[in-house]
Chain A
Amino acid sequence: MRRNVLSAAALACTAVLATAMPAFADDPSPVPDTTAAPADSGGQAAETDPSPVPAEPGAAEPTPAPAEEADGVTVVPRGAPDTGDAPVAAQSGGDGLLIGGGAAAVLAAGGAAVFVVRRRASGA
């Protein structure tokens, strides 16, 4: 009987201890805390680290140093300059279209007039 009681008590204690283990495991919190702190700061660094990287090109754009105060090219532009507005030929092409269209209209009007005159002549 006593054995049963003792074994039951031992079992209960074991169960209590087993359930309390996570709570005990929380005790050495200073260790994880201290490690957590650098981890957090590392996390912050990781957060701040990427931002300067993309920010650098972006930040360089609005504040280029004017070369009036420095020797050498301070900002190298991208690509090739577009220094030619070309449509001179295109404009003469447009004029040609206008002339051609006008000539066609005159020709059509003349043809219609001839057609009408001939019809009248044949009808008379």
Chain B
Amino acid sequence: MTPFSRRAVVAVAVACLTAGCGGDGGSAGDGPAVRESPGHRSPSAAGSPVSGPRPLARSVPVGLEIPAIGVDTPVVRLGLAPDRTVEVPPITADDPAGWYRYSPTPGRPGPSVILGHVTVGAHGDGVFRHLARLRRDDGITVRLENGAAAEFAVTSVRTVAKAGFPTEDVYGDTARPELRLITCGGPLEDGEYRDNVIVFAALRATAP
């Protein structure tokens, strides 16, 4: 082998190696975005690349508006109950919605989770009484403590048995800012609702 041909062989080998690394790097770079979609498995994520409005700065939610079902309510913070289930808002006449404080603030990447009651015993209907009536593209606006607002669009509404609660779909990571609204639904069994109604929504616009 002549020195020239040796150099040529080495150059080709180096080129192949760098091309291979570049390919891997590209796929690795795309990897998270591609993996995110099947990762959260929510209907809203199917075939949806990371796009749309820019995420908002972190700020806790203080108000929630859902014009389609006449909801305009303050939002309280919820944590974990001693049994590690999520806390729920207080049962009062004008029950507020509650944001799960271990989920992202609305407008940040990931699934922000807000819960509300469907009924509040003797007080009658809860704040999320008509959540199941929401339809695709209905608007949901969350007001934040810093004065900003995140507007979400409904992507799907699911009624699921509590026994088969889709934890990964609800709490699993998402690449873009999303919202989950959760309440109870379905028939009553021994004084308890059998199902959960879950609204999946994606960020549509932000203000200011």
Which residues of A come within 8 Å of B, CB atoms? 61, 64-91
Contacts and interface: CB of A to CB of B under 8 A. Distances in A.
Most chain-B CB neighbours within 10 Å: which of A61, A73, A84?
Answer: A84
Given A67-B105, A77-B80, A84-B192, 17 more contacts: A61-B80, A61-B84, A64-B80, A72-B173, A73-B103, A73-B113, A73-B172, A78-B84, A78-B85, A79-B85, A80-B162, A80-B163, A81-B86, A81-B88, A82-B184, A86-B184, A91-B122
Contact of A84 (B101, B111, B172, B184): B184
Chain A binding surface, main DSSP class:
loop
Nearest to A76: B171
B183 interface: yes
Given A83-B128, A84-B126, A88-B121, A71 B80 contact: no
Contacts of A84: 117-119, 126, 183-185, 192-193
Contact of B119 (A67, A71, A85): A85
B124 A74 contact: no
Contacts of B115: 81, 83
B88 A67 contact: no
A90 B108 contact: no
A82 B85 contact: yes
Contacts of A69: 58
A80 to B, nearest CB: 4
Nearest to B89: A83
A27 B59 CA distance: 72
Looking at B83, B103, B115, B173, the one whose CB has the most chain A CB atoms below 10 A away is B103
**When A and B form their complex, which 3 residue pairs have the shortest distance between CB atoms, in order from nearest?**
A84-B184, A80-B165, A80-B162
B29 interface: no
B196 interface: yes
B200 to A, nearest CB: 15
A68 B110 contact: no
Contacts of A87: 121-122, 191
B173 A73 contact: yes
Contacts of A70: 104
Contacts of B58: 68-69
